[in-house]
């Protein structure tokens, strides 16, 4: 089959599948949140509520498309389309199955744009453009809540792009490539103990955390938090344009999940089931399911984090980026450079990552305690609380 036809077929499958997958990820999020909060969740439309995404999609398509009279119409309409476009473009270089694999039928390809030598850099470059959709939406809405949300989003993305990029520089130094397919194949060839998570656990944590901030997912949804900004940058949006913003967000979640699985968890590799030397019928389908399962696990983790960790204050959000993640990512990069230069075993990187995490946690805790102690009345309030607690126990014992 001609290469152009295979590319067009892959694009059609991805563009057609992602909206449906995102619809059912929303159902998954509603079901998981209901389970965590001891509720039932959607269960009316279809068996076990499985047709609820279809009903929601029809509702959004048929809902009246309101454009407020005070908005900048050109930018207002352009913003949601830009968010979806950048999210889909970033996914173009991400392998979502086995690539360069002889077991895969010739007419199937699990990546839109194969053999991009700067694949991870392309993802970061295109992903950073997604904030323009948010900024344009907030500015064009001519609404103070939308404008505040857009400003928060721009500050957040600019801040977290730094640790996001620096977290993978160590992998680039170790592997000598930015090609996502090559990064995955190197881990597969080395087996389970060659997964990058063993040598860069701190980088994996920072990559996943910074990616959550880039996607505006809780606890980093300062740009759209309902308690403060009504809806933030999408306050003035409704119907299909509102849905496009969330389609971009969920597409970004899918991209993050596949990237984390590929960069740190060996991609489609799984011990004893899908090894580099494995050979049995349907192996390519098993590899596809393994990689998809790893990505699905990260999506579930993102959803559960939403209902577990409270939202940060904006100053805490900035402090986490500039005072914690950026220094840690820089220290991690220096550690990788040191080990590579002196040709130490890669397992020293595992020890060093744990030591860095523990040392920075201790330093941060001491700095925080010193900051709180310097506040007027802090020690006094603490002593009064203890005294009141002891007085209550004494009063109960007296009675």
Q: What is the pLDDT of residues 119-138, one digit of tens each?
A: 898 998 888 888 888 888 88
Paired tokens of 222: 């300062």
Give phi and psi for 44, each to the nearest 5: -95, -40
Stretches in the chain below the pLDDT threshold 50: 380, 382-389, 391-392, 394, 397, 399
CA 359 to CA 334: how far, in whole Å?
Answer: 16
If we measure between CA atoms, which residue out of 120, 162, 137 comes closest to residue 68?
Answer: 137
CA 166 to CA 388: how far, in whole Å?
Answer: 49
- Burial of 292-330, coded b for 16+ CB within 10 Å and e otherwise, reads bebbbebbeebbebbeeeebbeeeebbebbeebbbebbe
pLDDT attached to residue 382: 46
Asked if 134 and 150 touch (Cβ cutoff 8 Å), the reply is yes
Task: Look up the pTM and report it.
Answer: 0.87
> Domain boundaries in the chain?
66-344, 345-399
pLDDT attached to residue 259: 93
pLDDT attached to residue 337: 93
DSSP letter for each residue of 237-297: --HHHHHHHHHHHHHHHHHHHHHHHHHHS-TT-BTTTB-TT---TTHHHHHHHHHHHHHHH
pLDDT tens for 77-97 read 899 988 889 988 988 899 988
């Amino acid at each position: 089959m001609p290469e152009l036809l295979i590319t067009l077929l892959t694009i059609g499958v991805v563009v057609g599948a992602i909206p449906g997958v995102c619809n059912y990820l929303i159902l998954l999020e509603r079901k998981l949140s209901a389970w965590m909060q001891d509720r039932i969740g959607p269960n009316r439309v279809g068996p076990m509520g499985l047709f609820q995404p279809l009903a929601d999609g029809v509702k959004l398509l048929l809902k009246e498309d309101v454009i407020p009279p005070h908005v900048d119409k050109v930018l207002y309409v352009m913003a949601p389309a830009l968010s979806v476009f950048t999210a889909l473009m970033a996914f173009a270089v991400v392998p979502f199955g086995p690539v360069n694999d002889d077991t895969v039928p010739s007419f199937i390809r699990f990546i839109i744009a194969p053999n991009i030598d700067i694949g991870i850099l392309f993802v970061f470059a295109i992903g950073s453009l997604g904030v323009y959709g948010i900024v344009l939406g907030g500015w064009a809405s001519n609404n103070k809540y939308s404008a505040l949300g857009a400003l928060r989003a721009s500050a957040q993305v600019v801040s977290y792009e730094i640790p996001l990029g620096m977290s993978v520089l160590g992998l680039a130094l170790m592997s000598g490539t930015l090609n996502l397919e090559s990064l995955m194949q190197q881990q597969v060839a080395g087996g389970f103990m060659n997964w990058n998570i063993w040598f860069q656990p701190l980088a994996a944590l920072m990559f996943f955390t910074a990616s959550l901030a880039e996607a505006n997912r809780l606890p980093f949804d300062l740009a759209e938090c309902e308690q403060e900004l009504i809806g933030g940058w999408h306050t003035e949006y409704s119907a299909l344009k509102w849905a496009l913003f969330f389609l971009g967000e969920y597409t970004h979640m899918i991209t993050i999940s596949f990237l984390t699985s590929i960069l740190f968890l060996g991609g489609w590799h799984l011990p004893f089931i899908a090894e580099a030397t494995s050979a049995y019928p349907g192996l390519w389908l098993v590899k596809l399911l393994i990689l998809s399962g790893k990505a699905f696990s990260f999506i579930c983790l993102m959803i559960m984090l939403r209902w577990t960790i409270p939202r940060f204050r904006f100053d805490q959000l900035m402090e986490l980026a500039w005072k914690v993640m950026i220094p840690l990512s820089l220290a991690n990069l220096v550690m990788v450079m040191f080990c590579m230069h002196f040709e130490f075993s890669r397992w020293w990187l595992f020890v060093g990552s744990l030591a860095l995490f523990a040392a920075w946690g201790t330093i941060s805790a001491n700095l925080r305690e010193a900051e709180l102690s310097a506040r007027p009345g802090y020690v006094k309030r603490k002593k009064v609380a203890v005294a009141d607690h002891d007085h209550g126990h004494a009063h109960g014992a007296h009675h």
